[in-house]
């Protein structure tokens, strides 16, 4: 897989973390090379949806002293093969090679547009998740947030779809298991869309518990409450339908009444969050009404689970969210809740 990307400026200056102990330090994984993925001028998945978050954090007097911005490398083929098939990775390389500079081409497997550097950028985004795992497992920081694009949770083992090429949260989970021997991982998906790819990858696996609360009906149409896993993974998938027009109270109730009791049995050692921000009121692609403050409350609930079972270890990875200013508001609220 080609990882040649244009040379771009450094993502951000390091925050001053000299006075911040690791338990109050947050690792932010971002690279300006994410901007090299270009699905076209009218596409909702634009670079600005992530760079607006970074700019907000860089200028936040209250958050900046607690943030560290580690460098990271792209996921290797070996890393990606823990989740995706060799045939699919070969297909990505072959289709990428046919895209010329400035061009945009639909991926043959689904509704995802690639440009000249998209496959390499997706590998870099998966690498951000790996670096986030390293940061929390080696106690460089209490938690990490990977501000990546393109998103990943719709990508299955064999197929890219829904703007996604590689499934970053799944790659991070498998890396945590392989590198650090983590036996029980909780993945919480708060995107407005169901993470069908993540569910499919782990549905027969009882070492990963997948929870998703998402708008229904909506793309991709999966994620009914009756979908609870298969085989050895039966009972380790939990889906919650959120009706259009709902605010964050539906998710908060599901966390309190469904996920918290389940975690008393599962007892996760690590929590990963597919942090889609497209459930925010006014988002371009969803019809939910989550508020800025609501994202803070969601973050508090999930942090409580991490503190109870996982020594506080959390990695959040950006998924959807298509209004830049709203994305920045939500992430600011989430990080403030972590430090509260």
Per-residue pLDDT tens digits for 5-22:
544 434 443 444 444 667
Q: Which two tokens stand for residue 98?
A: 């046919």
How many Å apart are CA 277 and CA 317, to the nearest integer?
11
Please report the pLDDT score of residue 23 as a whole number: 72
- Looking up tokens 């497209």 gives 278
Residues 183 and 267: beta-carbon distance below 8 Å:
no
Please report the pLDDT score of residue 288 as a whole number: 98
- Identify any residues that bridge with 241 across adjacent strands, giving them in sequence order: 214
Q: Is the dihedral of CA 212, 167, 277, 256 positive or negative?
A: positive
Q: Which domains does the chain have, with CATH numbers?
A: 26-339 (3.40.800.20)
Q: Which of 84, 154, 193, 214 is catalytic?
A: 154
| Residues in the chain, pLDDT under 70 | 1-21
H helix runs in the chain, sequence order: 48-58, 77-81, 86-97, 118-137, 168-180, 196-202, 249-254, 260-266, 292-309, 324-339
Residues 239 and 229: beta-carbon distance below 8 Å:
no
How many Å apart are CA 96 and CA 11, to the nearest integer?
25
Residues 194 and 212: beta-carbon distance below 8 Å:
yes
pLDDT digits (tens, 9 = 90+) for 249-290: 999 999 999 999 999 999 999 999 999 999 999 999 999 999
Length of the chain: 340
Please report the pLDDT score of residue 2 as a whole number: 44
Residues 72 and 131: beta-carbon distance below 8 Å:
yes
In whole angstroms, what separates CA 141 from the centre of its chain?
18
Q: Which two tokens stand for residue 153?
A: 């949770």
CA atoms within 13 A on the CB side of 108: 12
206: closest CA among 266, 153, 264, 262?
Answer: 266
Is 168 labeled as catalytic in the residue annotation? no
Predicted TM-score (pTM) above 0.85: yes
DSSP 8-state secondary structure symbol assigned to residue 305: H
């Amino acid at each position: 897989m080609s990882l040649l990307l244009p040379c771009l400026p450094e993502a951000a200056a390091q925050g001053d973390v000299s006075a911040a102990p690791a338990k109050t330090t947050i690792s932010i994984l971002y690279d300006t090379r994410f901007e090299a993925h270009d699905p076209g001028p009218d596409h909702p998945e634009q670079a600005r949806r992530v760079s607006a978050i970074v700019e907000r954090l860089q200028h936040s007097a209250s958050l900046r002293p607690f943030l560290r911005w580690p460098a990271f490398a792209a996921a290797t083929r070996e890393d990606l093969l823990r989740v995706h098939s060799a045939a699919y990775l070969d297909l990505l390389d072959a289709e990428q090679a046919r895209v010329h500079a400035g061009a945009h081409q639909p991926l043959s497997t689904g509704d995802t547009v690639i440009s000249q550097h998209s496959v390499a950028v997706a590998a870099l985004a998966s690498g951000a998740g790996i670096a986030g795992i390293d940061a929390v497992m080696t106690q460089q920081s209490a938690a990490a947030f990977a501000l990546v694009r393109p998103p990943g949770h719709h990508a299955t083992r064999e197929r890219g779809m829904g703007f996604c090429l590689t499934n970053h949260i799944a790659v991070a989970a498998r890396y945590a298991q392989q590198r650090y021997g983590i036996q029980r991982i909780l993945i919480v998906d708060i995107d407005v869309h169901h993470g069908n790819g993540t569910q499919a990858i782990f549905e027969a696996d009882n070492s990963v518990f997948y929870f998703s609360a998402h708008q229904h009906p909506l793309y991709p149409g999966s994620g009914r409450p009756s979908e609870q896993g298969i085989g050895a993974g039966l009972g380790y998938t939990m889906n919650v339908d959120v009706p259009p027009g709902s605010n964050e109270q539906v998710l908060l109730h599901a966390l309190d009444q469904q996920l918290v009791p389940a975690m008393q049995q599962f007892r996760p050692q690590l929590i990963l969050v597919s942090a889609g921000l497209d459930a925010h009121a006014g988002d371009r692609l969803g019809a939910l009404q989550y508020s800025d403050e609501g994202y803070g409350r969601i973050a508090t609930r999930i942090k409580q689970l991490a503190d109870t079972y996982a020594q506080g270890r959390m990695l959040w990875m950006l998924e959807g969210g298509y209004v830049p200013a709203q994305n920045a508001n939500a992430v600011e609220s989430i990080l403030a809740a972590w430090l509260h």
